[in-house]
Amino acid sequence: MKTEVKADPKAFVTLRFAGDDLDPGEITRVLAIAPTRAHRKDEFYFAGKRAGLLRGRTGIWFLATDELVPSDDLQEHLAFVEGLLYPQSGDDRRITKLRALLECTNSRAHVTCFWRGDSGEPAPEISDGFKSATASLSADIETDFANKNSRVG
Amino acid sequence: MAPDLGDFLAACKPSEFALPITSVSSSLMPYERTRILWSRPGNPPASIARTLGLEARRFSRALHKIKAAADLSGTDHVIIYTDGTVTDEQGEPIGNLYDED
């Protein structure tokens, strides 16, 4: 079944693992999902019709949920990422494998949260549950929240 | 040995070389000349999105993804060009805003 993806979602989350010695294929094997983009350091990758082939500045495994979760609700995007890390409640085998991979390649985990609200709409919150789920990877969580008519980048 | 074009060039008036500008098809141009639209850390103002002809949310979503995929944070300095190219602070291309539609 094909997931119906919103053309212009107001919220999504990205998960990335980055490091000069990272082999993104190892991350794919652990998380069992195709990344949005993945390459080793100095490897050329296709970045789009206009950008063409670009050289990887570092090793990257990158996933954006906007093409996977058909929702404007940031919580659903966070839940999707949490489900990748913990496919079953209490099952931390993926986390254990990821920590080992990150340690031996001196790589880091990062989460970013994107949200654009209407004027006056309150910004979503990152739940404590999600924070603790990613804390075991020492992942930083960056928020890019703004309301309509504020700066857009 | 280089050919001697002296007589040929002397016999031609400049107007015989020049094409009227209206006759030059844009498709014949080798590349679009670009210029820098934005070169600062942080989030660009809405005017940058408008200049590129992109809706504000689409623009900010594209820039967020390009920076994250290049292992840059939101506060990192990027350069945005009129053709949609985004480079890092050193000028190395990391994506194009029009590719993220």
Residue A5 has pLDDT above 80, yes or no: no
Tokens in use for A39?
Answer: 């390459």
Asked if B61 lies within 8 A of A60 by C-beta distance, the reply is no
Residue B20 within a domain? no
Question: From the list A51, A66, A116, which residue is nearest B93 (CB)?
Answer: A51
10-residue mean pLDDT series, chain B (101 residues): 44 40 40 81 91 94 96 95 96 95 68
Domain membership flag for residue B3: no
Secondary structure of A111-139 in HEC code, one letter for each residue: EEEEEEECCCCCCCCCCHHHHHHHHCCCC
Q: B56: domain range?
A: 36-100
Q: Which residues of A touch B91 (CB under 8 A)?
A: none
Hey, is B63 helix, strand or coil? helix
Instruction: Let me know if residue B65 belongs to a domain.
Output: yes
At which residue do the structure tokens 């103002």 appear? B45
Total domains in the fold of chain B: 1
Residue A94: how many other CB atoms lie within 10 Å? 17
> Average per-residue pLDDT in chain A?
93
The CA distance from A60 to B52, in Å, is: 28
Task: Report how many Cβ contacts below 8 Å link chain A to chain B.
Answer: 105
- Identity of residue B41: P
Of A37, A48, A148, the CB nearest to B96: A48
* CA distance linking residue B69 with residue B66, whole number of Å: 5
Residue B1, pLDDT score: 45
Nearest to B66 by CA among B99, B94, B38, B36: B94
Name the residue among A93, A86, A29 with its Cα closest to residue A61: A29
From the centroid of its chain, how far is CA A95?
15
**Which residues of chain B make contact with A152, given a CB cutoff of 8 A?**
43-46, 48-49, 56-57, 59-60
Residue B4 lies in a domain: no
pLDDT band at A89 (very low <50, low <70, confident <90, very high): confident
Angle at Cα B17 formed by Cα B16 and Cα B19, nearest 5°?
95
- For residue range A59-88, list pLDDT tens digits in order: 999 999 999 999 999 999 999 999 999 999
Give the Cβ contact number of residue B78 at 10 Å: 23
Task: Determine the average pLDDT of the residues in A146-152.
Answer: 72
In chain B, which residues touch A (CB < 8 A)?
42-46, 48-49, 55-61, 63-65, 68-71, 73-74, 83-85, 88, 92-96, 98-100
Cβ contacts of A19 within 8 Å, gap of 6 or more: A58, A59, A102, A105, A106, A107, A108
Q: Is the pLDDT of residue A153 over 80?
A: no
Asked whether B82 and B47 are in contact (CB, 8 A), the reply is no
pLDDT at residue A9, rounded to an integer: 84
pLDDT digits (tens, 9 = 90+) for A14-46: 999 999 999 999 999 999 999 999 999 999 999
What integer pLDDT is reported at residue A90 of this predicted model? 87
Helices (H) and strands (E) in chain A, counts: 4, 7
pLDDT at A4 > cutoff 90? no
